[in-house]
């Protein structure tokens, strides 16, 4: 009786490692439940047939060949930024500056295209733009890393502030380089000469970007899983004290990892400007730095897992846009559906990580309590 009184009605304990197959089942159940709830919400708010809405979502992503290519391009760019953020997050360095790192790389690439577009041969201009983009992104990652390593500053606030600095730099030079004057925008850079533009493969201007990101995905997986540097950043993420005991220079690991993260963000910025958009605005990065945080977290920082989480978010974005157009609904309704699906997917992480015990129904609840008190 005394033991029963000490045992709480509900007790939550951490699960042991869950096999991949069970994780997939949990995610699948979460998505099915999310679609059911979305269907109910759709019927109650709009009176539309949920099946028609879901069909429209699929058409929005896969309806035409062009839509498929656009979706793959968006997936590649989101995946690239997510890959850039993953090493820092694995190290528990909360880099929220991916947006600024991509944006400053876009600025560096645009600067090269504008200033040297008529002075350098195209292959050399592309190479210079790539180097400048990678260097700019790496610099934007290096600055907060240096202050963290030397003065233990708060990296979350620091990287967020770096986003605003990058935005204001771009906003200033958009006005300096505006074309035509008074328009408040740059327009297509080197539209007539296409100087600095990446070449197209086949009939798609997106294929080269997709191939580059696919290569980065494989390299990042090998780096994080099999390299000495990947092992060191994992140790630093688990425990700073353990890293010190093992003789790891944590400051050097922090700086090195953020240089890598910024450099990969720089590649993403280069691909955005030289590969697809060919222009510069304060919104050219499209929030990739913030969405990439969710992608990396959902995949537990596994580069191949990020392919699936990137696809999920991009598919919902493409589908949500088509819903708004086809049924004359505003974007807010699409955001509601996206939010419901993400809520269920993120919520499913709780049941993967923890288990719930009820008093009197599960003897393991008492055992869990006893272990904690011991």
pLDDT digits (tens, 9 = 90+) for 138-150: 999 999 999 999 9
**Amino acid 1: pLDDT:** 46
The pair of structure tokens assigned to 328 is: 């004359």
The percentage of the chain sitting over the pLDDT mark of 70, rounded to a whole number, equals: 94
Residue 75: closest CA among 264, 253, 214: 214
Q: What digits encode the pLDDT tens for the residues 19-68? A: 878 888 888 899 899 989 999 998 998 888 988 988 998 998 898 999 99
Average pLDDT over the chain reads: 90
The pair of structure tokens assigned to 355 is: 């288990």
CA distance linking residue 117 with residue 306, whole number of Å: 36
CA distance linking residue 33 with residue 41, whole number of Å: 12
Residue 11 bridge partners (DSSP): 357
**Amino acid 218: pLDDT:** 98
How confident is the model over 198-220, as a mean pLDDT?
A: 94
**Amino acid 14: pLDDT:** 82
**What counts of helices (H) and strands (E) characterise the chain?**
15, 2
**pLDDT tops 60 at residue 305:** yes
Residue 10 bridge partners (DSSP): 358
In 153-192, which positions are buried (b, 16+ CB within 10 angstroms) versus exposed (e)? eebeebbbebbeebbeebeebbeebeeeeeeeebeebbee
Tokens 């876009």 correspond to what residue? Answer: 106
Residue 279: closest CA among 165, 190, 180: 190
CA distance linking residue 60 with residue 315, whole number of Å: 8
Tokens 């699906």 correspond to what residue? Answer: 341
Where in the chain does DSSP place strands (E)? Answer: 10-14, 354-358
**pLDDT tops 80 at residue 116:** yes
**Amino acid 6: pLDDT:** 59
CA distance linking residue 271 with residue 253, whole number of Å: 27
CA distance linking residue 291 with residue 267, whole number of Å: 17
- Cis before 124? omega within 30: no
65-312 has CATH 1.10.3470.10 classification: yes
How confident is the model over 189-198, as a mean pLDDT?
A: 95
For the full predicted model, state whether its pTM sits above 0.75: yes
Contact 69, 109 (CB under 8 A): no
**Amino acid 15: pLDDT:** 81
Q: Where in the chain are the domains?
A: 65-312
User: Hey, is 354 helix, strand or coil?
Assistant: strand
The percentage of the chain sitting over the pLDDT mark of 90, rounded to a whole number, equals: 65
Where in 209-361 does DSSP place strands (E)? Answer: 354-358
Q: What digits encode the pLDDT tens for the residues 261-303? A: 999 999 999 999 999 999 999 999 999 999 999 999 989 899 9
**Amino acid 371: pLDDT:** 53
How confident is the model over 328-347, as a mean pLDDT?
A: 84
Lowest-pLDDT choice from 271-285, 301-315, 341-355 = 341-355
Determine which helix (DSSP H) or strand (DSSP E) holds 12, and give its type and residue range.
Answer: strand 10-14
Lowest-pLDDT choice from 298-302, 344-348, 356-360 = 356-360
CA distance linking residue 254 with residue 198, whole number of Å: 33
Q: Is the dihedral of CA 261, 266, 271, 272 positive or negative?
A: positive
**pLDDT tops 90 at residue 329:** no
**Amino acid 103: pLDDT:** 97
CA distance linking residue 15 with residue 21, whole number of Å: 15
Angle of CA points 348, 352, 358, to nearest 5°:
95
- Confidence class of residue 352 from pLDDT cuts 50, 70 and 90? confident
**Amino acid 323: pLDDT:** 85
Chain centroid to Cα 269, Å, comes to 14
Residue 15: closest CA among 352, 369, 257: 352
- Confidence class of residue 176 from pLDDT cuts 50, 70 and 90? very high
Q: What digits encode the pLDDT tens for the residues 228-243? A: 999 999 999 999 989 9
């Amino acid at each position: 009786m005394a033991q029963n009184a000490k045992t709480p009605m509900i007790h939550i304990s951490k699960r042991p490692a869950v096999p991949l197959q069970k994780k997939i089942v949990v995610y699948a159940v979460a998505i099915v439940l999310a679609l059911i709830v979305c269907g109910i919400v759709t019927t109650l708010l709009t009176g539309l047939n949920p099946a028609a809405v879901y069909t429209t979502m699929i058409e929005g992503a896969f309806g035409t060949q062009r839509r498929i290519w656009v979706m793959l391009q968006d997936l590649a760019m989101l995946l690239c930024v997510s890959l850039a953020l993953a090493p820092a997050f694995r190290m528990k360095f909360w880099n929220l500056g991916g947006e600024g790192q991509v944006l400053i790389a876009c600025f560096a690439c645009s600067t090269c295209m504008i200033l040297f577009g008529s002075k350098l041969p195209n292959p050399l201009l592309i190479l210079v733009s790539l180097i400048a983009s990678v260097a700019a992104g790496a610099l934007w990652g290096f600055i907060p890393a240096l202050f963290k390593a030397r003065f233990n500053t708060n990296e979350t606030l620091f990287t967020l502030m770096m986003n605003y600095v990058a935005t204001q730099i771009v906003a200033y030079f958009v006005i300096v380089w505006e074309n035509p004057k008074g328009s408040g925008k740059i327009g297509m850079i080197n539209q007539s000469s296409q100087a600095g533009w990446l070449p197209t493969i086949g009939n798609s201007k997106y294929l080269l970007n997709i191939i580059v990101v696919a290569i980065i995905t494989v390299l990042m997986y090998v780096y994080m899983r099999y390299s000495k540097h990947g092992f060191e950043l994992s140790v630093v993420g688990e425990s700073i004290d353990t890293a010190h005991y093992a003789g790891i220079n944590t400051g050097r690991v922090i700086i090195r990892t953020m240089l890598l993260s910024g450099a990969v963000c720089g590649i993403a910025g280069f691909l955005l400007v030289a590969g697809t958009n060919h222009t510069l605005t304060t919104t050219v990065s499209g929030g990739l730095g913030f969405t990439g945080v969710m992608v990396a977290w959902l995949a537990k920082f596994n580069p191949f897992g990020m392919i699936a989480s990137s696809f999920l978010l991009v598919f919902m974005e493409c589908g949500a846009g088509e819903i708004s157009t086809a049924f004359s609904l505003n974007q807010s309704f699409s955001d509601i559906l996206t939010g419901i699906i993400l809520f269920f997917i993120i919520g499913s992480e709780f049941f993967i990580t923890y288990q719930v015990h009820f008093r009197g129904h599960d003897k393991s609840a008492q055992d869990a309590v006893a272990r904690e008190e011991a």
